[in-house]
A and B are shown apart, each in its own frame.
Chain A
Amino acid sequence: MTSLGNTRIAFIETMIELVEQDPKAVLVCADSVLVVKGQDFIRKYPDHFIDVGIAEQNAVDCAAGLAACGLIPFVATYAGFITMRACEQVRTFVAYPGLNVKLVGANGGIGAGEREGVTHQFFEDLGIVRTIPGITVVVPADADQVRHATRAIHQVKGPAYLRIGSGRDPVVDCEEIPFELGRIRILAEHGKDIILFTAGFVANRALLAAEVLSKEGIKATVADVHTLKPLDRKGIVTLLKKTNAAVTIEDHNIIGGLGSAIAELSAEECPAYIKRLGIQDLYTRSGNPESLLDYYGIGVKDIVTAAHTTLKRRDS
C-alpha cells in the first residue's frame, strides 16, 4: 500500500515558517485558500494574505505589482489556472521583468486531479512554464520535498513555478537524500543498466519498478529530476553516458515536461535510447489516482516493460 503525504499542507506550513522569518513573503490566492489549506496561515498572518477572488489573471498581475515594490508574493491556486488562464500575465508581467513572484500550482498531473476530470487535471503546466524564459521550474517528488523546494525558491530571487498535488500524494522514503535546486537526486542505485528519470509524484512508482527490474536482473538507477529548469545538464549527461538507455516517468503530457527535457538534452549532448512514459498526448478521465496512472500507462508494470524494450533496442 502506498503511504500518502500532503503536498498542500507541506507548502502552507513552510509558507508560515517563511513569513515568520521574512516579512516580505505574502500569500496571494484566487479563492483558493482551501485548496492550499491556508486557514492557519490567515489566522497567523492576515496582513500577509491577499485573496483577489476567482480571478487568476488579476492574482498574477497583482503579485507582479507587489513584487515590483519589493515583496515576495507566492500565488497559489490550481496549476492550470495559473499556467493557462494567466499564462500571459506569468510571461509578460512576471517572467519578462524577472519579478520575484513564486507560482504554486496545485493538482499538477492526473494523479493529483482529485477525480475531477480534465478541467482540474493539469498535465500541460510544466511544458507551458518551461517554454517561458526566466522561470525556475520545480516538481518535487513528495510532501517532504515540497518543504525543501518552497524554501529553495524563496531563497533564489526571481520567478519560480512550484508544482504541488492533491493532498493525497505518495510518499517517497528518501528524506536523507538532500534537495538542492538544479541538481538531480539519485533515489536508488541498483546498477548502471538503465536510468529511470522521474519528476513529481510518480517517483514511488519508479522506485518500485527499479526493485522489480533488479529481481529480473536489470540494474537501474533512479534519478529524481525535481528541477526541470535550470536542468542539471551535467548530472543527467553523466548518467546517460553510463547507460545509453533511459525511461522518463512523469505525470504530465510526454510533450513539454521531463521526457522532452531529457530527450532534448540527450539529442544535443549524449544520444541515447529513451522511452517517455506519461500522458500520451490525449485527454484523460476521472478516476482514482492510482488506477488512473496505471490506466494511462504510468504503472510500475509499464515502467518495467519500457525498460526491457529500451534495453532491447539499445542492444539490438
Chain B
Amino acid sequence: MIKKQHSIRNVHDRIGELEEIACQIRIDIITMIHKAGDGHPGGSLSVTDMITALYFEVMNVDPKHPEKPDRDRFVLSKGHACPALYAALARKGYFSRDELPRLRSLESHLQGHPDMNKTPGIDSTAGSLGNGVSIGLGMVLAGRLTGHDYFTYVITGDGEIQEGVIWEAAMTASKYKAGRLIVFVDNNGIQSSGPVDKVSGLYPILPKWAAFGWHCQEIDGHDFSQILSAIEKAQACTDQPSVIQAHTVKGKGVPFMVGDNSWHKRVPTTEEYREAMRHLGGPCL
C-alpha cells in the first residue's frame, strides 16, 4: 500500500530503473562535491539508495506543487548527507541540476546543510544531529489534526542516534502510536571519529527501539527490493512508529572511498574524480 496510485507489488519491475537513478545520483554527488570543493561524500553515498527509493518510487510528492499540504514529508536528519538529497531533488525536477556544483557557495540556495526556506523541496531544516525524529513526529501529529494521512520519512545516521533527543522522540512517538512515522537508521558503521562501536556503546540498535515500542526491521540499505518491502511493511503497521535499520556502506559505489573514513568529509582530486566516474560509469571531466 505504498501509495494508492502505484502499488508496491508492481514496482519490483522497476528496480533496475531505480538502480540506474541511484547511479546517476551518485555521479551527481561526486561531481558536485568535486566541483564545489566541499562536502561529505561518504555518508551521502550510503543514503543514496534509500533516498532514491523514497523520491522515485514511494513518496507522494509533486515538484510542481512542492508545498501541497497532503504530500509525504521527508526529513534528512543526518543533514550532512544533503548532496544525495539535492541530487535527488534536482533530478526529480525541483530545481535545475546546473545548481548542484554551486553547493555551499555564497550565491547558491544549496546550503551546507538543508534549509527548508532556501531550497525547493526541502521539508525540514536539518544538520544539527538528533532532531529529525522529533520534527518528523510533529509532522505526523500535524497530519492527524489537519486530516491529512501523509507519511513522514526520516533518515538518521547511526552515530547520530547517540543524541539523547532521539530517544525522547522514540518515547513520544510510541505514546502517540505514530504509525505514519517511518525512520531509517543509516547504519554504515562509521562516524566522524571512527567506527560506531569504538566511539560509543550504541549497539545493538534495534532492541533499543523495540523496547520503546517501535516496529523494527533490519535490511540491506542498498537492496531496493528490501528497501521497498520494508517500507511496505512499515506502512502496514498503523499503530506503531517504524524503524528500519539499514545496513549500508559508507562510500558505496566508489570502491576507494569504502573503508577509508577520510571520505566522511573530503573533496576528490581530479584524478580521484576520474577514478570514481570510471566505477560509476559517469562522464570524465
Listed in ascending order, the chain A residues whose CB lies under 8 Å from chain B are 23, 26, 47-48, 50, 52-53, 55, 57-58, 61-71, 73, 88-89, 92-93, 96-98
- Which size bracket describes the interface of B in this complex? 20 to 34
A58 vs B128: C-alpha distance when bound (angstroms): 14
For the complex with contacts A50-B141, A52-B172, A69-B142, 14 further pairs of A-B residues with Cβ separation under 8 Å are: A53-B168, A55-B169, A57-B168, A61-B165, A62-B137, A64-B135, A66-B141, A68-B139, A68-B142, A69-B69, A69-B73, A93-B124, A93-B128, A97-B115
Listed in ascending order, the chain B residues whose CB lies under 8 Å from chain A are 69, 73, 115-117, 123-125, 127-128, 130-131, 134-146, 152, 164-165, 168-169, 171-172, 175-176
Q: A88-B128, A97-B115 are in contact. Are A55 and B138 (CB under 8 A)?
A: no
Contact in complex: B125, A26 (CB < 8 Å): no
Interface of A is mostly: helix
Interface of B is mostly: helix
User: Which residue of chain A has the shortest Cβ distance to B163 in the bound complex?
Assistant: A57
Complex interface: chain B residues within 8 A of A70 (CB): 69, 142, 146
A72 to chain B, nearest CB (A): 11
Contact in complex: B141, A58 (CB < 8 Å): no
A223 to chain B, nearest CB (A): 36
Complex interface: chain B residues within 8 A of A68 (CB): 73, 116, 123-124, 135, 138-139, 142
Q: List 7 interface pairs A-B (beta carbons < 8 Å), by A numbering.
A: A58-B169, A61-B138, A68-B73, A68-B124, A69-B138, A89-B165, A97-B124
A167 vs B172: C-alpha distance when bound (angstroms): 28
User: Which residue of chain A has the shortest Cβ distance to B170 in the bound complex?
Assistant: A58
Contact in complex: A61, B146 (CB < 8 Å): no
Contact in complex: A96, B141 (CB < 8 Å): no
A61 vs B129: C-alpha distance when bound (angstroms): 12
| Contact residue among B135, B143, B144, B152 (Cβ-Cβ distance under 8 Å from A93) | B135
Contact in complex: B138, A62 (CB < 8 Å): yes
A291 to chain B, nearest CB (A): 37
Contact in complex: B172, A64 (CB < 8 Å): no
Complex interface: chain A residues within 8 A of B169 (CB): 55, 58, 61-62
Q: A26-B145, A65-B137, A93-B125 are in contact. Are A53 and B175 (CB under 8 A)?
A: yes
Complex interface: chain A residues within 8 A of B175 (CB): 53
Contact in complex: A64, B138 (CB < 8 Å): yes
A98 vs B146: C-alpha distance when bound (angstroms): 21
A247 vs B169: C-alpha distance when bound (angstroms): 45
Q: A71-B146, A97-B125 are in contact. Are A58 and B139 (CB under 8 A)?
A: no
| Contact residue among A26, A65, A71, A73 (Cβ-Cβ distance under 8 Å from B134) | A65
Q: A68-B124, A69-B139 are in contact. Are A58 and B145 (CB under 8 A)?
A: no
Complex interface: chain A residues within 8 A of B176 (CB): 50
